[in-house]
Amino acid sequence: MQERQLVTLVKAAFEYRHPVDGYIKISVEDGLVIAVCHWPFDRETDEWINIKNSYPIIGYRRAVEDAENGTEGVVAGVRCGHLKVVPRIDGFMLELSNPEKGWLAKSLQLSVSRPLQDLVLEQ
């Protein structure tokens, strides 16, 4: 008999899709903000930037609030890495890095033409 796994679906608080393929999703799970990135690096060679990291909710909210107030907002990941939000005239720059260090470290900087308010978590 095959064992079935229980999968919990979590609604993304923020989702940004690549025009062709790939995404960034930010959601809240078990009291943490979870950022997941699957973004094309080189589509011809099928190379991807894959990042998953978790952050304290209070730190995430503070980083978004800092960006809304015109300064760079940063929250450290629970294990390592960070999430950075930088306000721009036409939206914001989002930077994600994974919890690994050394040659396993990855990061992505992405300009997003959407309002900063989209990053605010519902109460």
Residues of the chain with pLDDT under 70: 1-12, 102-104, 123
Whole domain around residue 61: which residue ranges? 14-119
Residues near 109 by beta carbon (within 8 Å), at least 6 away in sequence: 93, 94, 95
40 domain residue, yes or no? yes
84 domain residue, yes or no? yes
Whole-prediction pTM value? 0.84
2 domain residue, yes or no? no
Q: Which pLDDT value is given to residue 12?
A: 66
* Chain centroid, CA 30 distance in Å: 16
The number of folded domains in the chain is 1
4 domain residue, yes or no? no
